């Protein structure tokens, strides 16, 4: 299988690239190496597989429809995995125009390029943020997802709706994967687990917003990659699928796990709740298990230990 993978140099994209290459697939990786966070981190990610004979790296932007169509045609891609995005709830509150341009117009550009070359297989990243502060717990794929609390959430829901339109009009086979707070080695530096770990090793206060009771369903990167590959294998029709961990934990419980793994006590800097943040994310995985055989295998305690070991070896010891 020849796969165009957008966002190939990022956190999830680099892990997925490694896995798909090991499974014998050909990967055409597209990334714009933007400066939302240090692009040098992405360059380090890419070094892991840049010389692989079945990997081609192209630096470019998903909003460039001509570029996308040219890539799809030149390399005879048969599937697209779309992970490229402007990430982050809080960043989107401060820069909504950039978020919406990349996530909505970029997805539209990709869909149009696919239509132009007659390619109809797409697996794309969505987000648990589309559920907002849902009153139904755990979140199910058929719940109302039309009350976003941030531009980021709105952009991801809009991308889902665009994809459904192309399924309806042109027969695209699409799986929209609603990721629930992915973590693990190479996680983006602004995300909570990375940020808290850095603060612990640096003997600096950890900033917590609210009262520490907000909860997230954290998903280890191995399980996320498994969900993506299962979606590729079972791609048919239009699907919304939760790809999450086994159970949510509170922010305060997360800090306790990190304290144990790092071996240091945190100093907490308490701050008010941030605009755009949801109180809880909780994935109902029943449908994903039925449709694609997805279920997470890495519990949060083990995942945190794995992440901290990687962080110590790759960051602290350098």
Tens digit of each residue's pLDDT (9 = 90 or more) over 184-209:
999 999 999 999 999 999 999 999 99
Tens digit of each residue's pLDDT (9 = 90 or more) over 9-26:
999 999 999 999 999 999
274 or 50, higher pLDDT: 50
- Which residues participate in catalysis according to the annotation? 152
Tens digit of each residue's pLDDT (9 = 90 or more) over 48-71:
999 999 999 999 999 999 999 999
The residue range of the domain holding 112 is: 2-183+219-245+282-297
- What pLDDT is recorded for position 179? 98
- Within a domain: 120: yes
Q: Give backbone dihedrals phi and psi of 69, rounded to 5 degrees, phi first.
A: -60, -40
- Within a domain: 144: yes
- Within a domain: 19: yes
- Within a domain: 48: yes
User: Looking at residues 220-234, what average pLDDT do you find?
Assistant: 98
Q: Model pTM?
A: 0.96
Name the percent of the chain in helix, strand, coil, to the closest 5.
45, 20, 35
- Within a domain: 198: no
> Half-sphere exposure (CA, 13 Å, Cβ side) for 304?
20
d(CA 144, CA 287): 16
CATH number of the domain that 179 lies in? Answer: 3.40.50.720
- Within a domain: 150: yes
Tens digit of each residue's pLDDT (9 = 90 or more) over 132-165:
998 889 999 999 999 999 999 999 999 999 999 9
d(CA 190, CA 192): 6
On average, the pLDDT of the chain sits at 96
Give the angle subtended at the CA of 277 by the CAs of 273 and 282, to the nearest 5°: 120
Contact 102, 62 (CB under 8 A): yes
Domain count, the chain: 1
pLDDT confidence tier of residue 317, bands split at 50, 70 and 90: confident
- Within a domain: 315: no
């Amino acid at each position: 299988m020849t796969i165009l993978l957008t966002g190939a140099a990022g956190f999830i994209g680099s892990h997925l690239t490694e896995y798909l290459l090991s499974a014998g697939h050909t990967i055409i990786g597209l990334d714009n190496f933007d400066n939302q966070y240090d692009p040098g981190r992405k360059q380090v990610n890419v070094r892991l597989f840049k010389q692989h004979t079945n990997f081609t790296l192209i630096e470019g932007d998903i909003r460039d429809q001509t570029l996308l169509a040219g890539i799809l045609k030149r390399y005879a891609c048969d599937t697209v995995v779309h992970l490229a995005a402007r990430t982050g709830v809080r960043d989107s509150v401060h820069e909504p125009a950039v978020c919406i341009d990349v996530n909505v117009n970029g997805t539209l550009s990709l869909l149009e390029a696919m239509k132009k070359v007659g390619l109809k297989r797409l697996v794309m990243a969505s987000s648990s943020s589309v559920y907002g502060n849902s009153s139904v717990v755990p979140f199910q794929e058929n719940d109302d997802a039309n009350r976003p609390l941030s531009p980021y959430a709105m952009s991801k829901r809009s991308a889902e709706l665009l994809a459904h339109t192309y399924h309806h009009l042109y027969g695209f086979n699409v799986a929209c994967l609603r990721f629930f707070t992915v973590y693990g080695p190479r996680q983006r530096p602004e995300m909570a687990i990375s940020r808290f770990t850095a603060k612990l090793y640096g003997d600096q206060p950890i900033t917590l917003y609210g009262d520490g009771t907000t909860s997230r369903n954290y998903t280890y990167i191995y399980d996320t990659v498994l969900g993506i590959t299962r979606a590729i294998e079972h791609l048919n029709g239009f699907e919304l699928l939760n790809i999450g961990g086994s159970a949510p934990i509170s922010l305060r419980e997360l800090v306790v796990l990190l304290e144990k793994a790092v071996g240091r006590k945190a100093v907490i800097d308490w701050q008010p709740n941030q605009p755009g943040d949801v109180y809880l994310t909780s994935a109902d995985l029943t449908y994903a298990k039925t449709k694609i055989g997805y279920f997470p295998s890495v519990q949060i305690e083990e995942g945190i230990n794995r992440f901290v070991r990687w962080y110590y070896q790759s960051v602290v010891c350098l």
